[in-house]
Amino acid sequence: MTVRTTRLDLADRREGADLSAFLGRLLRFDRAAAVRLQAVPGTGGGTGGVLAVFGRLPLGRSAVLVVRTVRLAGLDAAADLTVSAGQLLESVDEEGAALVLPAPVTGPSWAGLLPPRSGWQPLGQPPVDRVVGEVLAAVEEFKRRTAEVPDHHRTRQAVDAIADEIWSRPLGTAEGLPLRAAHAAHAIGFLRPGAPLSAYRAGAWLRLDAPAGSVLLRTEAAPGAGLGLSPLR
């Protein structure tokens, strides 16, 4: 899709700071991370609009998608492209409440298959304090178990196997949602004290929503599932 302008004005400075923090966390996991951007104009002749920023968190041998939405002051036309997360972070002007869209890059395979916009069924509203407690307990278990592995056996494969076993467990506070989703939400900074959480399912996709953003993951390969390319709202 052709982008008619490379500069996006943000609704306020806080949007720029939050986006920078989100991108910074992504880059700590992968310095070469790419993000898929989808910008949608608001109603009323170009006023308002939303930018959805999709990224991927590698956790063990699996991965989850994370999405952060950013409120825009205005947008002339919709945009849909994949860019370098590092270049996007460098382009954010927090003081000026704006960013410049970097040149598109060839996107990774995950960027071509995003979750659907509709069809989400609620799974529950887990309390954030209990979710955080489960995540922190699991993190401590992971540290303890990896430390117990002899040095000559502590390979990446062995560590990933421990991580996958722990994070694949069901989240006790949300039926059907794995602990991996909560771990990702914690790692990317979405779990905040008092923040309401909601869990959903749509076909093979699972989703955990927080005010700061959403975590999404596929439970299995399902023909035709997750082919929607529009940002979640």
Per-residue pLDDT of the chain (233 residues; tens, 9 = 90+): 444 458 899 999 999 999 999 999 999 999 999 999 999 988 765 568 999 999 999 876 777 999 999 999 988 888 999 999 999 999 999 999 999 999 999 989 999 889 998 999 999 999 999 999 999 999 999 999 999 999 999 999 999 899 999 999 999 888 889 999 999 999 999 999 999 999 999 999 999 999 999 999 998 644 333 333 333 33
Alpha helices (runs of H) in the chain, residue ranges in sequence order: 13-29, 85-91, 128-148, 156-167, 179-187
Residue 158 one-letter amino acid: A
The single-letter DSSP state of residue 47 is B
Q: Where exactly are the structural domains of the chain? A: 7-112, 121-199
Q: How far is CA 147 from CA 144, 157, 182, in A?
A: 5, 15, 23
Task: Find out whether 19 and 9 touch, Cβ atoms under 8 Å.
Answer: no
The predicted model scores a pTM of 0.86
Buried-exposed string 17-42: b where 16+ CB fall within 10 A, e elsewhere: ebbbebbebbbebeeebbbbbbbbbe
Strand, coil or helix: 153: helix
Residues 126 and 107: their CA atoms lie apart, in Å, by 34
Count of beta carbons in the 10 Å neighbourhood of residue 141: 13
Query: Is domain 7-112 classified as CATH 2.60.60?
Result: no
Residue the block writes with tokens 């069809």: 119
Among candidate residues 213, 210, 207, 208, the one with its CA nearest the CA of residue 226: 207
Task: Find out whether 172 and 129 touch, Cβ atoms under 8 Å.
Answer: no
